[in-house]
Chain A
Amino acid sequence: MGSNSSQLEKEIGTELPANEHYFGLVNFGNTCYCNSVLQALYFCRPFREQVLMYKSNNKKDSLLACLADLFKNISSQRRKIGVIAPKKFIAKLRKENDLFDNYMQQDAHEFLNYLLNTIADILQAATWVHEIFEGILVNETRCLCCESVSCKDESFLDLSVDVEENTSITSCLKGFSSTETLRSDQKYYCEQCCGKQEAEKRMRVKKLPKTLALHLKRFKYVEDLHRYTKLSYRVVFPLEIKLFNMSNDATNPDQMYDLFAVVVHCGSGPNRGHYISIVKSHGFWLLFDDDAVEKIEPNAMEDFYGLASETYKSSAAGYILFYQARE
């Protein structure tokens, strides 16, 4: 641990940016799902800034207050590199939600979801969480009888996409917005026709979020096995991306996004294995593995795409991708 941080200091010592801290987080028994997401969020600049500015006006410590304490603790360290135990935050998390109140491995995406929604609840009304993560999807349904199109807006904090073997995240997003036909018992009630009709449905992005969080649905329930299994498929993701699945009235269809964090799952299933995160900070990439932090080269990203071959079930694979809209 100690030798690890001095190793990192050696590697980036001279180019260590002022006011930046790289602190590993101690694992309190399978809490890497939490550590990996916290690191990704810490290096989401607008999120960090808001959390650091948060002042609890309530005496009672909320989960957000605990998070703010943790972030303040990291950012006020005298040393630039080290390890911190997020004890209070984990204790609060376990107290607040039964799901996380055990020593089992949890789903990092569920935790991210829970955390963002909890923060939004604590803040109430329109919040900076929405400001940072919220986008709007438009659900377009076209009646195959009268051709009328109805549109319904839906907001999202992240997008969950299906994964397929040997694809890219771009292709997964196209799949997310592909057209689905509603027929037989799924028929759609058309207001124009005043009756149930066959229809085509698709979801496209209408308003882009500032931070785009993409969740790859790598855990799939297999009926025969009565459990979730991991899809270790190779899904490549570039360092910069634009979306192809924008609605026609979207404001900036050519918005560029830059990858800044990846939560990676290693191992064979949602309740086993390990989470780590890769984070971009000041032009270089760091790998946070609980209390260990190391510098990696951008081309090492290849190791986290997943493996094409079925024989490598326990591979490391990108699970949540965080992209930041380029100014």
Chain B
Amino acid sequence: MASSSNGNNQEEIKCEFLVKEGRYKVSPLSASYSYQKTTYQTNHGNPVKLSMVTSNCEGGLYGRLVYNYGRELFTFAYKESTRQDTDNKILDKKAYKSAIPLCHDFNLITRSPDTLNLIVGFNTGQMQLINVVKYEIMKNFNESRNIDNSKITCIKWIPGKDNLFIASYFSGNIYMYDDNLPCSNGPITYSVVKESDDFSVYTSKSKLQQRNPIYKWTIGKGAVNDMAFSPDCRHLATVSQDGFMRVINYETNTVISTMKSYFGGLLCVAWSSDGKCVATGGEDDLVTVWSFTEGVVIARCDGHRSWVNAVAFDPYTIFVTNRDDASFSGSEDEANVNCHRNGSNEVENSNVLSYRIGSVGQDTQFLLWDIGEDILTSERHRKQPQTVTVNSNTNSNSNTISRASINDLKIDGISDYSNKSDSSSSNNKSDHSHNNSNNSNNNNNNNNTSITTTTNNNESTSINIQYQCPSITEIPLIEPIVARKIAHERVTSLAFTEDCITCASQDGQITIWIRPNIVSTQL
């Protein structure tokens, strides 16, 4: 084909960027991880996704980087690539004939010197368990495709559990599996655990024999596109093509709160390391930051030029102040604020002053956002009617704030408790029809409220109230601190690790950014 002369919008691909903590540079090793185009194999338009394990143990023995490209699945040895020489060679390549690998996840609990289990989901709905240390295929699930034959959109081990994993499907279903159990071969008989328009739970458990899948959830309308577990392992956030983010307590099988995109489907979701915020990305070109504890949208990040494929909080770049640090006055930040390098649990006892969020999208860009104190401490957004969760006896923290905000809200459908329900109703028009599948067809009493009492668990009574999405004028619109074109193709995956930020794009290009102040032996 004739090459075109109009390359005026071919921006250059950037190799470094500067932020307040220093300069990030692309690792020269990036290319050696990238897909080497030796054949004319096409990628079938499927996103390239990354799964990484890194550990600080000496020699970095279990560091692995896995990604899918077309019908192939690649495994690389991966130590934080800056601290080593040339040990990033490809360890394994699996090529599939009849199925395309789409997503995968490492089991961090059962990891040992000779075991590193990777669960892989395919476009056919099938799943495969691989021991990445021995490159052995251990088991297949849904092999006869009788459980669900649509493509798998996301697959995750349940944190804290040895052998449970969940897979979300294009069909809008999520299944929970136990890797010790066999799969049913014939038609599966499910019994209803609970059923509603928006969220239903079924189980195939029988007294005779335990078989997979253990649970089946049906969520919203359309495909479930992504899932993320909260750091405390109690909640699962899902995003769907219907534009909703839902937080599910997967132990009690309850949807405890929801959020609606500004418009269009939601494509990706991530939790902050303190478990207080959730970020989503979607077809509205926005990264939406939502406070889990308050149940409201706190910021919209505007800077992508197309749909947002992946979003993640950087657990290593989080600005905190200790709660008992009384000297904090709000003026001298440098003194009290430290850039957290450890991530994880230490954050929980601190006040977060600023989150760092990264996002990548179909616009071939990589963007970084700082959600600062002004947003996190703003009183204004608490008045935004959005989604409120009232938990009677779960988390005291969320409880107080929810109560506070509920006074400002029109609680539609709470008539089960008090029959007068709502009053002022400026919020009650337009977008309603799309807001919630509960809304349209049911009788009005159950309209916006689903009241669910878990029978055999005394955890909580949740009232889940849905509101229309807040107006564009009501929520702070944030600009990126960094926006870089980093690939020729859509960027599809993003991971923050201690020393690096790693991205993958649709054409199999892997880009590794080395964090500031990391001495590279390569450079």
Contacts and interface: CB of A to CB of B under 8 A. Distances in A.
Check if A and B associate.
yes
Contacts of A242: 262-263, 284, 472
29 contacts: A165-B10, A166-B305, A166-B364, A167-B306, A168-B285, A171-B285, A171-B304, A171-B305, A222-B5, A224-B5, A225-B5, A229-B4, A236-B306, A236-B307, A236-B362, A238-B283, A238-B284, A240-B434, A242-B262, A244-B472, A252-B430, A253-B472, A254-B469, A256-B434, A308-B488, A308-B489, A310-B3, A326-B433, A326-B434
Contacts of B4: 229, 310
A256 B307 contact: no
A253 B431 CA distance: 13
Interface of B: 1-6, 9-10, 45, 170, 223, 243, 262-265, 283-285, 302, 304-307, 362-364, 430-431, 433-434, 469, 471-473, 488-490
Contacts of A238: 263-265, 283-284, 307
B342 to A, nearest CB: 36
**Chain A interface, DSSP helix/strand/loop, else mixed:** loop
Contacts of B223: 299
Interface of A: 164-168, 170-171, 220, 222, 224-225, 229, 231, 234, 236, 238-242, 244, 252-256, 299, 302, 308, 310-313, 326-327
B264 A254 contact: no
Contacts of A166: 305-306, 362-364, 490
Contacts of B305: 164, 166-168, 171
Contacts of A234: 362
Contacts of A313: 1-2
Contacts of B284: 170, 238, 242
A222 B363 CA distance: 24
Contacts, number: 92
A229 B2 CA distance: 11
A313 B362 CA distance: 20
Given A171-B305, A313-B2, 18 more contacts: A164-B9, A165-B10, A166-B362, A167-B305, A168-B305, A168-B363, A231-B6, A238-B307, A252-B430, A254-B469, A254-B471, A302-B45, A308-B490, A311-B1, A312-B1, A313-B1, A326-B430, A326-B431
A310 B469 CA distance: 38
The listed residue with most A CB atoms (<10 A of its CB), out of B5, B285, B489, B490, is B285
A222 B433 CA distance: 46
A220 B8 CA distance: 13
A234 B306 CA distance: 10
A313 B431 CA distance: 39
Contacts of A255: 430
Contacts of B302: 244
A309 to B, nearest CB: 8
Contacts of A252: 430
A222 B6 CA distance: 8
Nearest to A246: B472
A231 B430 CA distance: 36
Contacts of B2: 313
Contacts of A171: 285, 304-306, 363
B430 A256 contact: yes
A171 B305 CA distance: 5
B472 A229 contact: no
Contacts of B263: 238, 240-242, 256
Closest 9 CB pairs of A and B: A238-B264, A238-B283, A171-B305, A168-B306, A242-B263, A167-B305, A254-B471, A240-B263, A170-B285
B265 A253 contact: no
A165 B488 CA distance: 10
A222 to B, nearest CB: 6
Contacts of B473: 253
